[in-house]
Homo-oligomer: A and B are copies of this chain.
Amino acid sequence: MAQAAPQPSNTVLVGKKNVMNYVLAVLTLVHQGVNEVIVKARGRAISKAVDVAEIVKSRFLPGKVAVKDIKIGSQTVTNPDGRQARVSTIEIVLAAQ
């Protein structure tokens, strides 16, 4: 897979690692004082991005973080064999309360 583009410092890009890696990344940003953390994912990692948001919101920072916005979209990716394919994306904005 191609190297992911660098993400802005308030963004957590959810991929193939265990869900708790991304939960910890979000918690670290919040504890650094970032007011809005954007949890992004595409394809099958979308379910995991929702898990990250829900675990942060209900288990680690209940009442302190809320889902402010959710956007879904599509990206076109080129497979290794040259075919173009559509892949879904999600962006979940978590805001400190």
Contact = CB atoms under 8 A, between A and B. Distances in A.
A43 B28 CA distance: 25
Contacts of A50: 46, 72, 88, 90
A47 B54 contact: no
A70 interface: yes
A26 interface: no
B43 A88 contact: no
B88 A72 contact: no
A72 B47 CA distance: 10
A92 B74 contact: no
Interface of A: 43-47, 50-51, 53-55, 58, 67, 70-74, 86, 88, 90, 92
Task: Please give me the 5 A-B residue pairs with the lowest Cβ-Cβ distance, nearest first.
Answer: A46-B47, A70-B70, A50-B88, A54-B74, A47-B47
14 contacts: A45-B47, A46-B46, A46-B47, A46-B50, A47-B88, A50-B72, A50-B90, A53-B72, A54-B74, A54-B86, A54-B88, A58-B74, A67-B72, A72-B92
